[in-house]
Structure 1
């Protein structure tokens, strides 16, 4: 009647959500850290929110630190989930 499929060979298998959370948390932490280390980067100058002079905007330090911490919490949680099963 119905066919059954072996999902053992599927990329990530049953842990795919954990791997995706690991990648998301890592990207969140590393991306915000990179923005703090090199705030000018390779961006084009943009006008600031107050209609300023068109200089490149700098990242908000407080928000970036919070995002780095959140990303690291997600990474640690995902690694603990992978190790613990």
Structure 2
């Protein structure tokens, strides 16, 4: 059935972020609404890096473009190491 967003508490959970988060998500996800990831990234641009993956179903972000996925992951992780 998936999430519809009505169970999401809004921006409050973003306030609790203490470590940077990299989120890969696509607007075509039919399981988890992309808008929830967008809201999280908008609420905490200092802590959340949202990488939008077009044409990728839920759980298949890497499959859509492995090279771009790995490069985004490398760029995100390198400064943290």
Q: TM > 0.5 between the two?
A: no
Normalised to the residue count of structure 1, the TM-score between the two structures is 0.29
Instruction: Kindly indicate which of the two structures has a greater share of residues assigned to strand.
Output: 2
Give the greater-gyration-radius structure (CA).
Answer: 1
Ranked by relative contact order (alpha carbons within 8 Å, sequence separation 6 or more), the top structure is: 1
